[in-house]
């Protein structure tokens, strides 16, 4: 736990050990905790506030393996001033980290059930730790399915890992793109089209969904159509965040604070707010 | 006279109140209270009774605030001013930390400020409740806010029960006044009679009793207690506004799509005045700054408002871009979701948002309109 | 493959689920097994749409060709999905090319025959139209989500 209870707004310095380019605008950063002996423990689905000295701070989901806390991994999309600097500074630079914050995917509670992970775009990043956990404890789960959609083949994350996951005999991995480019031999179509044929038992499944809100809304409808109850479906929400500790008020979503009641929510508990425009 | 304990009542003559101010100063408190400045009642440092709004009252209504001279010399003869405790406990600008950057990244040299002793003279019961509400926000959760904690840690609060209701007050509806019931060290009720000007003082805490002990006072007689009670009762009957709070949380949860929101959106300027004057509004933003060389960096916190376009900005757009959504967010938070988040309501009935809204939007009227619209729908109207 | 197997396969397929017996037999009579090699064109844009397919194995790409872009795959369909609904709706012409991206095995159904029968027997027509409507609905919703381009960031380099 890096966020000090006495001063939750003070970050700790983490050095960037490695930068991997995932797509033209998305990078995976591997960071060294300052006290490497302890590592950085977190639960899948949690996020950190990551600070670029003198520029600003943004919430980023942790995208690494909770089983290897020696390295802190973040997959960052370079979309604004802070993230652009974060990705550009490179190996050896120092970032400030506060966290981990927020709720986590129900990977322990899902034991005994099938697990269906549906994600779109960068939504795979906060779900990758859950997949790592499940694969590390594979015998506890029934069927495990990963359904992943991206805009084009170039926009797929973790391009070397995806085929490795696909190679597991006990993991169903389906990948699709919205728009194909020349040479793509895989599925073309939105990620929701992967749900009807996926191999899982809706009555005994825990579904975890993450991606743009519109994609999540369509996905939840398809899961419902297949008979997965809302109490067994989990989503990860996102809002503007300044403090991550429930004081700045920015991340409110109905009566919840996404920084502390989320970002992972059980769908039935936020269903009314999910359907409300501009809430 | 023996030291008084919690619940007991004493009497201070008008001039003796000065001793109270001095006693607090002697204990190294920074003493703040109401003063007149810029044609409004503004809380600021107070050294003597002459600094208080002697002989002033206020006229408040939707979008209206005027100070008027009273016929008498009451010290607390007004309702409230635009700000109160929030100004001192939850400052509008505060530095969170200061750091030096170098080869090893950055090193925090100084964190948030430490504790300070703060004494408030003249806190209205509604504002007392507002402080209690902000205590829940900043001190009751998993994390506590170090700045609020430092400023709140060593407070001395002298509450003042209300001798007249303001034009926009509705503390009776919100059950927060006009009499202070808890959260104070001492509570005063001002009594102005033809021949006499005095205060009935209720002791709220052991510390309150100790400080009162250093001020010349007498035990309150039954008659004096009765006078104080009738003043407060009279105030309770004068409220400028009312709010029906029965089931209000569920009412607003049911009405996210009520057409009334479009109606208020036509009037609301999203200026954010309501959030500035509201004693419970707490939203802030964070700003990271650096010197030109990038060698020294600081993080600052500033008050923010959910009415700004920036407030809900993600991924190239704001989640709440329409006025309708932003007004709905503020009012639904204040009256409904706040209760699920923190326990009490976020509204204390002080009426400031009504007074200081440039277009006189009235939260009690909006709540009533939404409630009425449900009744009309049921009747098939 | 024996007719009984075709009947079982059709009966189990969601598209024919709930279909009454006499109709199911009609479909069996109109059905046949087909196979396409990788790269084969199943149908072309502009051709008369007379046959539709239940894909049993393999992936089919729906394509169109644009002068500056060449061949573009707009969607893929695979196992269990219905290929083609233009046979049911005038002007009964395919809007896209369908190409087998790998070996494809499917059951082909004589849409023209079913169309004719539907004109005579409106109950049959209603059953078929209901099911086609469902396929169209799914494709339309998916197409709309695709159009929204939800993963786009707004700041894109020229592709």
**CATH code, A41:** 2.40.30.10
Q: Looking at the structure, tell me whether residues B345 and B199 fall in a common domain.
A: no
Q: Does C76 touch chain A (CB under 8 A)?
A: yes
Sequence-separated contacts (24+) of A55-60 with Cβ below 8 Å: A55/A81, A55/A82, A55/A85, A55/B288, A55/B290, A56/A81, A56/A82, A56/B288, A57/A11, A57/A82, A57/A96, A57/A98, A57/B286, A57/B288, A58/A82, A58/A83, A58/A86, A58/A241, A59/A101, A59/A238, A59/A241, A59/A244, A59/A259
Q: Write out chain B residues lying below 8 Å of A94, CB-based.
A: 104-106
Q: How many residues make up chain A in this entry?
A: 279
Pick left, alpha or beta for residue B186 (phi over 0 → left; psi -120 to 50 → alpha; otherwise beta): beta
Give a yes or no: residue B1 inside a domain. no
Give a yes or no: residue B2 inside a domain. no
Q: For residue range B226-248, what is the model confidence (pLDDT) as tens digits? A: 999 999 999 999 999 999 999 99
**CATH code of residue C48:** 2.60.120.10
Give a yes or no: residue C58 inside a domain. yes
The whole-angstrom distance between C151's CA and the closest CA on chain B is 11
Q: How many structural domains is chain B composed of?
A: 2
Q: Looking at the structure, tell me whether residues B44 and B138 fall in a common domain.
A: yes
Q: How many structural domains is chain A composed of?
A: 2
CA-closest candidate to residue B199, choices B184, B220, B222 = B220
pLDDT for position C12: 83
Lowest mean pLDDT among A29-38, B17-26, B114-123, B256-265: A29-38
Q: Looking at the structure, tell me whether residues A119 and A207 fall in a common domain.
A: yes
The per-residue pLDDT of chain A, averaged, comes to 95
Q: For residue range B41-96, what is the model confidence (pLDDT) as tens digits? A: 999 999 999 999 999 999 999 999 999 999 999 999 999 999 889 999 999 999 99
pLDDT class of C26 with cuts at 50, 70, 90: confident
Please provide residue B191's backbone torsions phi and psi, each rounded to the nearest 5 degrees: -125, 120
Find the mean pLDDT for residues B23-38: 96
Q: For residue range B349-369, what is the model confidence (pLDDT) as tens digits? A: 999 999 999 999 999 999 999
Both structure tokens of A179: 């728009």
What residue in C sits closest to A79 (Cα-Cα)? C153
Name the residue range of residue C135's domain.
3-145
CB-nearest partner of A190 from C81, C101, C145 = C145
- The CA–CA distances, whole Å, from A11 to A33, A66, A138, B286, B298 equal 12, 21, 35, 13, 12
pLDDT for position B104: 72
User: Which residue bears the tokens 């973040």?
Assistant: A74
Q: Looking at the structure, tell me whether residues B191 and B303 fall in a common domain.
A: no
- Angle, alpha carbons B30-B35-B39 (nearest 5°): 150
Q: How many residues make up chain C in this entry?
A: 159
User: How far is C104 from A262, CA to CA, in rounded Å?
Assistant: 45
Q: Write out chain B residues lying below 8 Å of A95, CB-based.
A: 105
Q: Does C73 touch chain A (CB under 8 A)?
A: yes
Q: Are the beta carbons of A54 and A11 closer than 8 angstroms?
A: no
pLDDT for position C156: 41
- The CA–CA distances, whole Å, from C6 to B166, C12, C18, C82, C109 equal 84, 10, 16, 16, 11
pLDDT at B106 over 90: no
Q: Are the beta carbons of B363 and B371 closer than 8 angstroms?
A: no
Both structure tokens of B133: 């509400």
Q: For residue range C73-124, what is the model confidence (pLDDT) as tens digits? A: 999 999 989 999 999 888 899 989 999 999 999 999 999 999 999 999 999 9
pLDDT at A86 over 60: yes
pLDDT class of A4 with cuts at 50, 70, 90: low
Q: Which of B237, B263, B294 is the last residue of a domain?
A: B237
pLDDT at C159 over 70: no
The whole-angstrom distance between C98's CA and the closest CA on chain A is 13
SS3 category, B127? helix
The whole-angstrom distance between B323's CA and the closest CA on chain C is 24
Q: For residue range A195-238, what is the model confidence (pLDDT) as tens digits? A: 999 999 999 999 999 999 999 999 999 999 999 999 999 999 99
Flag if B145 and A247 touch (Cβ within 8 Å).
Answer: yes
Name the residue range of residue B343's domain.
248-379
Flag if A189 and C101 touch (Cβ within 8 Å).
Answer: no
Q: Does A12 touch chain C (CB under 8 A)?
A: no
CA-closest candidate to residue A195, choices B265, B247, C80 = C80
Q: Looking at the structure, tell me whether residues A36 and A127 fall in a common domain.
A: no
pLDDT for position B154: 94
- Cα dihedral A8, A9, A10, A15 sign: positive
Q: For residue range B195-233, what is the model confidence (pLDDT) as tens digits? A: 999 999 999 999 999 999 999 999 999 999 999 999 999
Lowest mean pLDDT among B155-164, C1-10, C18-27, C124-133: C1-10
Q: In this complex, which chains have at least 3 CB pairs below 8 Å with chain B?
A: A, C
Q: Write out chain A residues lying below 8 Å of C157, CB-based.
A: 24
Top residue of C63, C103, C150, C154 to mutate, by most chain A CBs within 10 Å, is C150
pLDDT for position C1: 52
Q: Looking at the structure, tell me whether residues B65 and B156 fall in a common domain.
A: yes
What residue in B sits closest to A77 (Cα-Cα)? B315
pLDDT for position C90: 87
The per-residue pLDDT of chain B, averaged, comes to 95
Give a yes or no: residue A261 inside a domain. no
How much of chain B is in helix, strand and coil states, percent to nearest 5?
A: 35, 25, 40
Q: For residue range B315-344, what is the model confidence (pLDDT) as tens digits? A: 878 999 999 999 999 999 999 999 999 999
Q: Are the beta carbons of A10 and A31 closer than 8 angstroms?
A: no
Q: Looking at the structure, tell me whether residues A97 and A118 fall in a common domain.
A: no
Percentage of the residues of chain B whose pLDDT score is greater than 70? 99
CB-nearest partner of C142 from A190, A211, A214 = A190
Give a yes or no: residue A165 inside a domain. yes
CA-closest candidate to residue B142, choices A259, A39, C19, C75 = A259
Q: In this complex, which chains have at least 3 CB pairs below 8 Å with chain C?
A: A, B
Find the mean pLDDT for residues B238-266: 97
Percentage of the residues of chain A whose pLDDT score is greater than 70? 98
Find the mean pLDDT for residues A125-137: 98
Q: Looking at the structure, tell me whether residues A43 and A121 fall in a common domain.
A: no
Both structure tokens of C26: 């009609």
Q: Write out chain B residues lying below 8 Å of A96, CB-based.
A: 105-106
Question: Would you call the peptide bond into A189 cis, given omega within 30 degrees of 0 as the criterion?
Answer: no
Name the residue range of residue A162's domain.
114-236
pLDDT at B132 over 90: yes
Give a yes or no: residue B189 inside a domain. yes
- Residue A77: strand pairing partners: A26
pLDDT at C10 over 80: yes
pLDDT for position C14: 80
């Amino acid at each position: 736990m890096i966020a000090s209870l006495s001063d939750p707004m003070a970050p700790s310095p983490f050095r960037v050990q490695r930068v991997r380019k995932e797509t033209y605008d998305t990078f995976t950063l591997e960071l060294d905790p300052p006290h490497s002996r302890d590592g950085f423990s977190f639960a899948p689905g949690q996020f950190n506030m990551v600070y670029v000295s003198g520029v600003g701070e943004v919430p980023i989901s942790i995208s690494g393996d909770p089983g290897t806390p020696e390295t802190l991994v973040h997959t960052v999309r370079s979309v604004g001033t802070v993230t652009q600097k974060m990705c550009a500074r490179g190996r050896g630079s120092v970032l400030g980290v506060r966290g981990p914050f927020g709720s986590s995917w129900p990977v322990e509670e899902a034991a005994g059930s099938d697990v269906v992970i549906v994600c779109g775009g960068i939504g795979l990043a906060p779900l990758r730790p859950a997949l790592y956990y499940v694969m590390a404890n594979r015998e506890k789960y029934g069927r495990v399915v990963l359904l992943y959609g991206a805009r084009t083949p170039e926009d797929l994350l973790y391009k070397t890992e995806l085929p490795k996951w696909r190679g597991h005999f006990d993991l169903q991995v389906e990948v699709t793109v919205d728009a194909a480019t020349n040479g793509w031999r895989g599925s073309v179509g939105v990620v929701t089209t992967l749900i009807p044929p996926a191999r899982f038992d809706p009555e005994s499944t825990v579904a975890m969904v993450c991606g743009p809100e519109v994609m999540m809304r369509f996905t939840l409808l398809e899961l419902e159509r297949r008979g997965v109850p809302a109490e067994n479906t989990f989503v990860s929400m996102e809002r503007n965040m300044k403090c991550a500790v429930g004081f700045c008020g920015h991340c409110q979503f109905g009566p919840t604070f996404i920084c502390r009641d989320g970002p992972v929510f059980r769908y039935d508990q936020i269903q009314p707010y999910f359907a409300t425009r501009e809430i | 006279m023996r030291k008084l304990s919690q619940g007991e009542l004493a009497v201070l003559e008008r001039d003796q109140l000065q001793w109270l101010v001095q006693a607090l100063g002697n204990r190294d408190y920074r003493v703040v209270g109401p003063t007149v400045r810029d044609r409004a009642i503004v809380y600021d440092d107070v050294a003597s009774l002459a600094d208080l709004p002697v002989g002033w009252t206020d006229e408040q209504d939707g979008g209206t605030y005027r100070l008027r001279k009273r016929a008498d010399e009451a010290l607390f003869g007004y309702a409230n001013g635009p700000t109160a405790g929030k100004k001192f406990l939850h400052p509008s600008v505060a530095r969170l930390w200061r750091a030096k950057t170098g080869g090893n990244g950055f090193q925090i040299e100084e964190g948030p400020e430490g504790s300070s002793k703060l004494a408030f003279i003249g806190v209205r019961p509604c504002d007392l409740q507002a402080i209690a509400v902000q205590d829940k926000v900043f001190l009751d959760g998993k994390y506590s806010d170090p700045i609020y904690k430092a400023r709140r840690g060593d407070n001395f609060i002298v509450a003042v029960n209300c001798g007249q209701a303001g034009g926009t007050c509705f503390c009776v509806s919100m059950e927060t006044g006009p009499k202070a019931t808890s959260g104070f060290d001492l509570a005063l009720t001002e009594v102005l009679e033809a021949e006499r000007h005095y205060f009935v003082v209720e002791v709220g805490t052991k510390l309150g009793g100790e400080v009162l002990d250093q001020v010349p006072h007498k035990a309150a007689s039954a008659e004096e207690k009765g006078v104080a009670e009738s003043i407060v009762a009279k105030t309770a009957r004068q409220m400028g506004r009312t709010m029906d709070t029965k089931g209000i949380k569920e009412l607003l949860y049911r009405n996210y799509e009520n057409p009334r929101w479009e109606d208020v959106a036509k009037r609301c300027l999203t200026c954010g005045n309501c959030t500035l004057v509201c004693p419970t509004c707490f939203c802030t933003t964070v700003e990271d700054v650096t010197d030109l060389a990038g060698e020294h960096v600081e993080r600052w916190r500033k008050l923010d408002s959910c009415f700004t376009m920036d407030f809900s900005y993600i991924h190239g757009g704001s989640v709440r871009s329409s006025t309708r959504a932003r007004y709905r967010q503020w009012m639904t938070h204040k009256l409904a979701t706040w209760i699920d988040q923190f326990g009490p309501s976020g509204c204390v009935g002080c009426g400031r948002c009504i007074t200081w809204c440039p277009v006189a939007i009235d939260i009690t009227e909006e709540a009533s309109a939404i409630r009425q619209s449900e009744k009309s729908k049921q009747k098939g109207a | 493959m024996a007719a009984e197997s075709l009947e079982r396969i059709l009966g189990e397929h969601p598209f024919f689920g709930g279909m009454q017996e006499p109709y199911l037999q009609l479909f069996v009579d109109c059905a046949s097994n087909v196979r396409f090699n990788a790269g084969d064109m199943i149908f072309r844009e502009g051709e008369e749409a007379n046959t539709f397919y239940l894909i049993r194995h393999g992936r089919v790409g729906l394509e169109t060709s644009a002068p500056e872009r060449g061949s573009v795959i707009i969607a893929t369909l695979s196992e269990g999905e219905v290929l083609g609904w233009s046979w049911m709706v005038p002007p009964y012409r395919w809007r896209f090319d369908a190409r087998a991206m790998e070996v494809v095995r499917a059951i082909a159904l004589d849409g023209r025959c079913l169309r004719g029968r539907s004109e005579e027997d409106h109950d049959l027509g209603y059953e078929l139209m209901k099911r086609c409507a469902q396929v169209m609905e799914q494709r339309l919703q998916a197409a709309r989500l695709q159009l929204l381009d939800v993963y786009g960031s707004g700041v894109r380099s020229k592709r």
